[in-house]
Structure 1
Amino acid sequence: MAMHELSLGTKVGLSILNDRWYSLMLMRLSTDFTDFIVLRKAVRGLSTTKLLVVLTKLKQMGLVEANDDYAFRLSAHGQEIQMLLTQIEQFGNHELMHLGTILSKS
């Protein structure tokens, strides 16, 4: 049977990974709690409200955990997604090097 569409689950997963702010937070966080103010200073280009929305959505998806002091860390599932993002980055870097090699030979 020929495939014509990605599964709905694949589309949802890719949309999460493709979201700039979700991916940035997933790459920025670790297993140690990071204070919201530290995150706010580290991430430029989005408002405080938007950062709270992103962290809340990641928490709802089970990718991030929060404590009572407004500090955030990756959950076990978030760590898995972070590993995927790291692998995607490594693949992209490899492809950029390959493309550079091809372009320099032209």
Structure 2
Amino acid sequence: MWAAVSVIVLIYLLQELLCPGKKKRLPPGPRGLPFLGHLHLLEKNPHQDLYHLAQKHGPIMGLRFGFVPAVVVSSPAGAELVLKTHDLVFANRPRSEASKIYMV
């Protein structure tokens, strides 16, 4: 069991060290855990947990849900900034394999 955990931690550390350019710059937010990201911060009522995180870290914060990065905007002014002013920047998403197969 410890060997499997050691191998997983080693792979994670090598990935972090060897791929520094792969990281995207997210807005500041709470500190996350490896592999889980910020999932441990969300409990039974995630909307209340996100409200409390926004009170502590600001109206625009970066979170990671597992390996998926996310930007959480919790103020009307921030939402307008993201949805109207910088909509083209936030509208692009990487294409998934399912969409590639479906579009053929």
Q: TM-score, normalised by structure 1?
A: 0.28
With CA pairs under 8 Å and 6+ residues apart, which has the higher RCO, 1 or 2? 1
TM-score normalised by the chain length of structure 2? 0.28
Structure with more of its chain in helix, by fraction: 1
